[in-house]
Structure 1
Amino acid sequence: MSTYFSCPRAAACTLAIALAFLLGGCSRGEQTTLPTPALVHRGSRIVVPANSPLRQRLRVAPVMLHQAPHALDFPATVEADPAHMANVLPALTGRVVALKVDLGDHVERGQLLAVIDSSDLAQAYADVDKARDALNLAKKTLDRARGVEQAGGAAVKDLEVAQSSHMQAQAEYRRARARLAALGGNADAKADSRPMDVRAPITGTITALSIAPGMFVNDPTASLMTIANIDKVWVTAQVSENDLGLVARGQAASASVPAYPGRLFRGTVASIGAVLDPDTGHDKLRIAVDNADHALKPNMYARASVAVPQPAQVFVPQSALLMNNDSTTVFVEVAPWVFERRTVELSYDEGHDARVLKGLKAADRVVVTGGVLLND
């Protein structure tokens, strides 16, 4: 029985001796190495060791501190400048015998637009003719009275009457000519060529037309056509009451329209309305824009952008921002390859960059690429 139980003990001893020799050989040969950790947490800080693969994937850059305006966008429409628009009104009633322009035509100041046959204008011509004739008669009477007076055959009072009649005839002739000129007539025109010429008061484009040849114009207060000079136009934006304190006259602005994708029409804020629309609570902000090529047409839909001045602020790329619960954070390098999470308060987003109000200063360096790899 003793021999039967001694064999397992001997085998166990042999196995233990062999394992000891094996371990001893390993300790005297190659040493086993543990892999380098990607990052190490030391309290609130994160250390990226020298051999960490994260060093190849992280990019750190200093924050930027500069002053840049913030762009506010508003819906808008293109309008002609009222100071460069004119409604063409008929001086008198009458029948349109000729129309020289069409809707959309470009006209120059003084250009003939239409011809109207007016009985009232004929009466004005007749008044000039009568006044001219009366003046001629009064002059002849005065000359005759002077001659008689010089010959001693007339009383002084007769000469004075002739002089008064001549002066009154001169005044009436001047009045008749002035009225005829105000109606667009020409006192020196021939008797058989006296229609009423309607001419352009300004240079511009015909934007509205309400007459046709043969039509009778019976309302001198109704516009025949509208001329607008659109070399400069207004882009009228609708600004909410909350944004009124941010805009002011003279600020740089721009506009874009769907008809010309990618093109910006630059101008300045020319005026801000004095009264809000009671239905919408918005105010009208007008941007003066040069429009030499007439690309902008009145009533076009547009988007207006106003550059609102801002103080110098810290800017970081959007890629540096990370969400941590309900807050926005960045990783700040507090020592070489040592980072600390910091909560920031943002202002406006400006394209690829974001304005930072609190949490960073100009000397800070932040992780701008790969910051998500440092998240827990």
Structure 2
Amino acid sequence: MHQTAPATYPQFFFRSSGRALRPVAAGLAVCAILFGGLACARADTAMVRDDHGRLTVAPDSPLAARLSVTSVTLASPSRTIPVPGEIRAEPSQSLSVMTPVAGAIVSLPVSAGDHVTRNQVVAELASGDMALATTDATKARAGLDYARRALARAQGVASAGGAATRDVESARNAWLQAQAEDDRATARLAALRAQPGQGGVIRLTAPIDGTVSAVNTAAGAFVTDPTAPLMTIVGTGQVWAVAAVPENLADTVHVGQQADITVAARPGLTAHGTIAAIEPALQADTRTLQARVVLANDDAMLKPGMFATVTILTPQPPRIMVPQSALLMNNDTVTVFVETAPHTYRRREIEIIYDDGDLCEVISGLSAGDRVVTQGAVLLNDD
């Protein structure tokens, strides 16, 4: 008969010999490898108690520390509509400088591209009409003074009984005429922005702060047409961003909506404003509706003529939004874990509308005030 060799098993010796302890250590290592996974699984199971789908997590467990719970709220996200646009000078800030009288240009201290401030002298003209106006004003002022003194003398003589009433009335009439003539001459000088005694030189000043965009004359030229612009000054302290809204989006754009404006020539610069006006008719050639955004431009970074992108923010009705990190996907079913009590959670199916952002809209399954697990939900398991 053949004898079967006895089975060999790990030997455990509890002796003080160094050689004898080696098999003991080897046996413990094998046990750790064979049963480590089961022990971890039992430890994880001990963290979560499943009561018919209601999961309770031990408050002092490592799993509880990895869960983040957030209340569901109503949000009003904005739909963004990017459309092409252009930076334009505000028409009321683009003014032409013209001379009110004919004359020869004796000084032209500015040129195209120069920045000017309000009331800065931009041109000087020698004009016979200007000389006549200042002379008339001086004569009218002298005549008014003489008439005033003559009326005072007549009134004094009359009070002493030495003059007739007719003389007083005549002096009063002369004084009234002199006063009217002085008012006329003064108004004429005011229209020319001149002062009595200035002579025949008229100084033209900038009506606004801005930049000289064009100069149409030169020193030494004789101006005969008062309606011809000598130069054009464009104010850049405020500009327009004009958006070209496509015809199919015209009904979504309204006055008062917020808009962000970016320009390719200024990377990193974003201007913010609101739609101030919308033209009533479409552009026939482009089939677009022009919406105007007024922008402050104190630093003159935005130049008229720059191409821009106008992103119009269209507010949407309040909706329930949740972070996409809270979603658990199971085939075609989307679920979240809802906290029903402290450290107690239940899986709930929801319907959503996918979005490219961090949030998505919930159509059904959640209400405002529900608390959902937004971080660590995948660690919960109620299967």
CA distance in 1, matches of 2:238, 2:157: 68
* 1:368 matched residue in structure 2: none
- Contact 2:83 2:244 survives alignment (8 Å): yes
Match of 1:76 among 76, 82, 85: 85
Aligned ranges 1:306-345 → 2 under 5 Å: 306-311=312-317, 312=319, 332=334
CA distance in 2, matches of 1:140, 1:345: 92
| 5+ long unaligned stretches in structure 1 | 1-61, 323-328, 336-341, 366-376
**Change in 2 beyond 3 A, CA 1:262/1:147:** closer
* 1:95 matched residue in structure 2: 104
**Change in 2 beyond 3 A, CA 1:313/1:224:** farther
CA distance in 1, matches of 2:365, 2:304: 47
- What's the Cα RMSD here? 4.1
Question: What is the CA-CA distance between 1:345 and the residue it aligns to?
Answer: 6.5
* 2:275 matched residue in structure 1: 269
| 5+ long unaligned stretches in structure 2 | 1-69, 338-349, 374-383
Question: What is the CA-CA distance between 1:161 and the residue it aligns to?
Answer: 0.7
| Deviation per residue, 1:267-292 (Å, 9 max, x gap) | 22222222322333322111122323
Letter in 2 for 1:262: G
**Change in 2 beyond 3 A, CA 1:164/1:244:** same
TM score, norm. by length of structure 2: 0.64
- Contact 2:262 2:271 survives alignment (8 Å): yes
Alignment of 1:67 onto 2:76? yes
- Contact 1:109 1:201 survives alignment (8 Å): yes
Q: Secondary structure at the match of 2:123?
A: strand
- Contact 1:330 1:344 survives alignment (8 Å): no
* 2:193 matched residue in structure 1: 184
Q: Secondary structure at the match of 2:147?
A: helix
Match of 2:114 among 98, 101, 105: 105
Question: What is the CA-CA distance between 1:81 and the residue it aligns to?
Answer: 2.4
- Contact 2:102 2:129 survives alignment (8 Å): yes
CA distance in 1, matches of 2:187, 2:275: 43
| Deviation per residue, 1:329-375 (Å, 9 max, x gap) | 9663599xxxxxx99876xx6x546866869878999xxxxxxxxxx
Question: What is the CA-CA distance between 1:175 and the residue it aligns to?
Answer: 1.5
User: What is the number of equivalent residue pairs in this alignment?
Assistant: 298
CA distance in 2, matches of 1:330, 1:171: 93
Question: What is the CA-CA distance between 1:201 and the residue it aligns to?
Answer: 1.7
CA distance in 2, matches of 1:250, 1:295: 24
Alignment of 1:212 onto 2:221? no
CA distance in 2, matches of 1:88, 1:161: 46
CA distance in 1, matches of 2:366, 2:258: 29
TM score, norm. by length of structure 1: 0.66
Question: What is the CA-CA distance between 1:152 and the residue it aligns to?
Answer: 3.8
Match of 1:134 among 124, 137, 143: 143
Q: Secondary structure at the match of 1:185?
A: coil
Aligned ranges 1:163-178 → 2 under 5 Å: 163-178=172-187
Paired-residue identity, % = 37
- Contact 1:345 1:359 survives alignment (8 Å): no
Range with bigger deviation, 298-307 or 281-290: 281-290
Question: What is the CA-CA distance between 1:150 and the residue it aligns to?
Answer: 4.6
Alignment of 1:197 onto 2:206? no
Question: What is the CA-CA distance between 1:173 and the residue it aligns to?
Answer: 0.8
Q: Secondary structure at the match of 2:140?
A: helix
Question: What is the CA-CA distance between 1:140 and the residue it aligns to?
Answer: 4.7
CA distance in 1, matches of 2:197, 2:320: 73
* 1:293 matched residue in structure 2: 299
**Change in 2 beyond 3 A, CA 1:76/1:360:** farther
**Change in 2 beyond 3 A, CA 1:94/1:168:** same
**Change in 2 beyond 3 A, CA 1:257/1:124:** same
